[in-house]
Structure 1
């Protein structure tokens, strides 16, 4: 039977920098069952002055991932001058034709990875070329400040999707709180099993606290640092705290984070800041860690939490949404939001061995629920029924 062609439209993608890497990983999981193509529409600002004649170009760059998945980066201009909408629609249609011509195969289904803006592109491809589409929403949903015209278009994008997927029940609640009541299906998420797996620790390993995430208000790292000051006063031997990825959402936060941690005046906790890391580096750090901490205010799913659990690392997390679908009393602890005292109390329970986890079993349980075999079965069934 001939493989069907799937175009995975990404809302963000920069493979050299590791941005959108889980889109690539998910594409690679289904490449044996489908011909998959990764597509990213990358805008550049365009305007003109009296001195400069207006000219623009649409260019599709093609390259391949390590596992030979084709990637199409479509560079197109966004017009920034009077009556831009007279031009923009035609430009976007030309951009769509550009990548379709490069693929040179009929696309059976488009899969938008997040509504903004991959979902909008899939809707336009559906209207212009009659290609059916589905979407998976990963991001927190906040329509505050969204122009009325785009809000109406969003309703159409969701309504016209053959299937509406979300990574967690919490996202369904977020859609509802924004007045979007549709029949959503929960897909969940997955992780790279080859990279994130259980590794038995040696008898003399040191106690290590770890977190992975960008320095941004929604991650609420001030509470984590406050919890560390409480822990520091209640221990009498040196332990380590590692923070990975403070710059993973862009910016240069390393110096701010370093100043914050130094200002704590910790005596027993040694701090290591790693502003960016590959998934392999993250996995290596997790495999030598004792406990993972998440103090987020809101998480649609929490891939970093999933990766920690896959390595057998128990997780202490705030009640932030999507993490509730992974964390159980057997593999971690859920604490109230903005309660550094309770975070610290549970770190100390693990430190003093009052809380002990079966880390190897927990890793296996997570693999059964969220591993590649489970995910491939889910997404392949979804692709097949929407193509049919």
Structure 2
């Protein structure tokens, strides 16, 4: 690990290379081999989803969601602006229109109270994004969707191993998506998964993922040959990716517990600075069990974020801000539209700093981060 403190450092369990070698010597390197099946079964059993399908990225899983909805040009999907570009790109690539609504001041998740008013005759779906692994108000969102005849596309890229009212994030809407990018808690370098919770979409999802063919049914012996059935693409990761992921899934509980310890240590140590109104700590609603995906702070409005980031960098600490809101980006203005005020999105995004948080962060490193931050804020 470098001497300076990185924002993220990929955690290795120790079995990744062993499993990769096993895949190699087993002569199975393409997708949907034994390690992929292990990962599918683990995710299905852990989340209760109807079908889990590994993909080569969370972006791919989100694109599959739009294909499964058969989005057409002009169709609208309601989502927060404070999210990664893939949430919107998946809609835009089908000719759809992202409709941006504001976020909640407490969790930075989509404000469920604003969704219903944003629904139009063109609305097809709601795409809640579980920011920092803290669940959106899914009961309200599902109620709106059911009453309006809409689908719910969960972007749970940051939500692996987190729950809302006891249900795994990604398993509550009609479709869900996980990320296993190296910046996430459980990783495979690149990689993701589509969670299919609507049983009527399972077969279609398999077909889309297999280049539009019913190849999965052929391998299960359900058809005597596989043929081109629908428009699709190749969304399978190779078996080496799945082998790496399997080593991580075996240790997912331990990794999560380690990150939660670090998150809680940040949280306790920063209570004093919050009491002095220099920053605000993350808020986790009682119905949510988060996964310590990130620890962020919201600086008081009078504090210059760039100066704080520069001060941390000078001390060898790589802290970062997060998304530039999509509604303010050139492509967001070109392809999407805003519904209502974006005051919380604009305000909070300009004050947020993410502190280094990864499983191998030491207490000494964390103490250095905390003492440096305090010295920069207390003048």
TM (norm. structure 1) is 0.30
Q: Which structure is larger by alpha-carbon Rg, 1 or 2?
A: 1
Q: Which has the higher strand share?
A: 1
Give the number of the structure with larger relative contact order, counting CA–CA contacts within 8 Å between residues 6 or more apart.
2
